[in-house]
Structure 1
Amino acid sequence: MKRKFLIDVDTGVDDAQALMLALSIPDIEVMGITCVSGNVDIDQVCRNTLKVLSVCNRLDIPVYRGSSKSLVGKVLQAAHYHGSDGLGDSGLAKDMDLGLLQRECAAVAIVNLVNKYPGEITLVALAPLTNVALSLRLDPGFGNKLKEVFIMGGNTEAKGRVSPCAEFNFLSDPESASVTLQELRNIVVFPYELSFSCGMSWNWFDEWISQNTPKAQFNQAISHAIVHKQRVEKKSPFYRSCDLTAMALAVDKSLAIDTESVYATVELSGTLTRGQMVVDWNGCLRKPPNVTLVKKVNVDKARQMYNQMIK
């Protein structure tokens, strides 16, 4: 029997790669993809998601439009990194018809799918957690019916991405991140800093990106701008894709070769630390662990999946 995945995205370049990976695994059935504002606005996220499905010949998978703002109404986007269209300014998704979206909104779809298949669905959350928090408010018990949850987001060393101390997904909607960590169960967190130890050497990347298949050509087109930022502007010694690695972990948990169960929460009020994931390493809060943090990943094993996803 195939494993059932429900994937929540704000489709930029790394989300697109993560979706391509999930769709390439024979024993995974993607039950639905829910979209939320994040890297770009919600309509563009939906177009980008549909484009990935089109490239992978999987437009049969239902896509749901989700929240266009955080719970408190603020909007944080990353077009400066992912491009104004979220796909490296490739323009490849401009022809996608939003009429292909399901009528049901994302939060309702999440609740309905999880209630239809209790204990069977793995939720992979690669975006701001607004849709997930709204689902918890629609059905507070739905979290108990998930098989497991994988979250790409948060940070463990207070090293910020778009603020001094916070990672993008959690800073985009701190309240939703807080609700999610406190009210869901069986959570595995892939924190932002981990991506810096999960990169691909440029020699390996050059071979990977240059393969002559439609999927590889799409990957090359959407990655061009980010590759320039990482390789030329920041002079990174390797290419990294947060959501792609997080998806690899969700596909194969054995990739996690070092983990730790801890209590984690989210700072909501700090002037400089709002959105930071606060990890109670020493048990000062006297609360039981609520997340499993991934601390090290088998990168060589993950690369085998990356090669397969663009065949």
Structure 2
Amino acid sequence: MRRMIIDTDTAADDSFALLVGLLHPEASLEAVTIVSGNVDFAQQVQNALITIEAAGRGGEVPVHLGAEVPMARPWYAASAHGDGKGNHDFPVPEQAPSDEPAASALVRLVNENPGEIDIVAIGPLTNIATAVLLDRDFASKVRQLWVMGGCDNSVGNVSAAAEYNFFVDPEAADIVFRAGFDVTVVTWTLTLKRALWDRDQLAEIAAIDTDLARYFTILDTPNLEFNEGVAIQGSTHPDSLTAMLLVEPSLIAASSRKFVAIEHHSELTRGYSLFDDRPERNAPNATVIDDVDATGFFESYKRLLAAGSR
């Protein structure tokens, strides 16, 4: 059982990652922290609460409000997600967010449980960096930090240089990768190779015909339509892959130790993630997932949706 906190800018695949934390038998989701990212901040909060209730866990997992803007830059919205909940009108959640700020909650929970809490960071790293600044020993007390971000020296999804999460708050990413976490990175590069579900696969999910499978399809549709408009043939699932690899490490087919650094000075290459596998040049500071069992990931997620809420 992995005790985890998910730090999220809740759009569709973030919600699918939350379902892993909420429903997987090997996951114990201790808290959700919200960070500025994909869509309007208040909408992100509602999306997280809607997902918790869709999983039948309403009132059981606290949601903490974090940074509403990046550390040093204006907010930059994504364009691929609509309102992050499939542009669908769900009932207003009964659960309200916690009064405790996200960074404070992160520090408190980790200090109360040193070496026992994993953090799954699937949005910009503003909240995680803020926690580091609040407690300079924070990184050493987190069991593992799993980060969805970066491009492994390849083309990004916001610019030619950068993936969205690192582009939005490169200063925060720089702080986090210098802080000394036991960090594992799942990149956008890997997503396009191993976490892209085409229409045939999405039809398999629709055929499950549970409340959660229908919820998935509603949320996933805007991302699928956007991707197809930019010649990506399927919906992308980097966040749920990141969460799933934590609780099902057998899905990891290959990984490597690398030095990871984030560019935050140049505007031309803002958010660029340098991945260097030459230890004689730069000492490795992260484990990078190089390959996964793509079929196994898809089948595991289908089982989650078929089992329903717990």
TM-score normalised by structure 1 residue count: 0.93
Counterpart among 219, 222, 227 of residue 224 in structure 2: 227
Alpha-carbon distance between aligned partners in 2 of 1:28 and 1:225, rounded to the nearest angstrom: 28
The residue that corresponds to 1:89 in the other structure is 87
Alpha-carbon distance between aligned partners in 2 of 1:107 and 1:166, rounded to the nearest angstrom: 25
Aligned-partner residue type, residue 222 of structure 2: A
- Secondary structure, aligned partner of 1:61: coil
Shift in Å at residue 279 of structure 1?
1.6
The residue that corresponds to 2:200 in the other structure is 203
Q: How does 1:23-42 map to 2 (within 5 A)?
A: 23-42=22-41
Counterpart among 276, 299, 307 of residue 304 in structure 1: 299
Counterpart among 142, 146, 154 of residue 146 in structure 1: 142
Aligned-partner residue type, residue 123 of structure 1: I
Q: Is the 8 A contact 1:210 1:220 kept in 2?
A: no
Q: How does 1:214-293 map to 2 (within 5 A)?
A: 214-231=211-228, 233-283=229-279, 286-293=281-288
Alpha-carbon distance between aligned partners in 2 of 1:228 and 1:128, rounded to the nearest angstrom: 24
Aligned-partner residue type, residue 44 of structure 1: Q
Task: State whether structure 2 residue 71 is matched by structure 1 residue 76.
Answer: no
Alpha-carbon distance between aligned partners in 1 of 2:260 and 2:187, rounded to the nearest angstrom: 12
The alignment covers a number of residue pairs equal to: 304
- Secondary structure, aligned partner of 2:201: helix
% identical aligned pairs = 30
Q: How does 1:92-107 map to 2 (within 5 A)?
A: 92=90, 95-96=92-93, 100-107=96-103
Shift in Å at residue 235 of structure 1?
4.1
Question: Any unmatched runs of 5+ in structure 1?
Answer: none
Structure 1 residues 223-258: Cα deviation after superposition (integer angstroms, max 9, x where no partner) = 122222234x23434432111111111222222211
Alpha-carbon distance between aligned partners in 1 of 2:68 and 2:6, rounded to the nearest angstrom: 17
Shift in Å at residue 200 of structure 1?
2.7
Aligned-partner residue type, residue 88 of structure 2: S
- Per mean C-alpha deviation after superposition, the further-off stretch among 222-231 and 251-260 is 222-231
Aligned-partner residue type, residue 42 of structure 1: F
Aligned-partner residue type, residue 86 of structure 1: G
Q: Is the 8 A contact 2:150 2:187 kept in 1?
A: yes
The residue that corresponds to 1:8 in the other structure is 7
TM-score normalised by structure 2 residue count: 0.93
Alpha-carbon distance between aligned partners in 2 of 1:203 and 1:237, rounded to the nearest angstrom: 11
Shift in Å at residue 13 of structure 1?
0.6
Task: State whether structure 2 residue 177 is matched by structure 1 residue 178.
Answer: no
Question: Any unmatched runs of 5+ in structure 2?
Answer: none
- Secondary structure, aligned partner of 1:102: coil
Alpha-carbon distance between aligned partners in 2 of 1:200 and 1:43, rounded to the nearest angstrom: 29
- Secondary structure, aligned partner of 2:244: helix
Structure 1 residues 1-31: Cα deviation after superposition (integer angstroms, max 9, x where no partner) = x321111000001101111122221232101
- Secondary structure, aligned partner of 1:22: helix
Aligned-partner residue type, residue 50 of structure 2: K
Alpha-carbon distance between aligned partners in 2 of 1:146 and 1:131, rounded to the nearest angstrom: 14
Aligned-partner residue type, residue 74 of structure 1: P
Alpha-carbon distance between aligned partners in 2 of 1:9 and 1:260, rounded to the nearest angstrom: 25
Task: State whether structure 2 residue 161 is matched by structure 1 residue 165.
Answer: yes
Q: Is the 8 A contact 2:80 2:227 kept in 1?
A: no
Q: Is the 8 A contact 2:71 2:169 kept in 1?
A: yes
Shift in Å at residue 306 of structure 1?
0.7
The residue that corresponds to 2:190 in the other structure is 194
Q: Is the 8 A contact 1:21 1:305 kept in 2?
A: no
Shift in Å at residue 185 of structure 1?
1.9
The residue that corresponds to 2:45 in the other structure is 46
Shift in Å at residue 213 of structure 1?
1.1
Alpha-carbon distance between aligned partners in 1 of 2:162 and 2:233, rounded to the nearest angstrom: 23
Aligned-partner residue type, residue 144 of structure 2: E
Q: Is the 8 A contact 2:154 2:189 kept in 1?
A: no
- Secondary structure, aligned partner of 1:165: coil
Change (3 A) 1:287 1:184: same
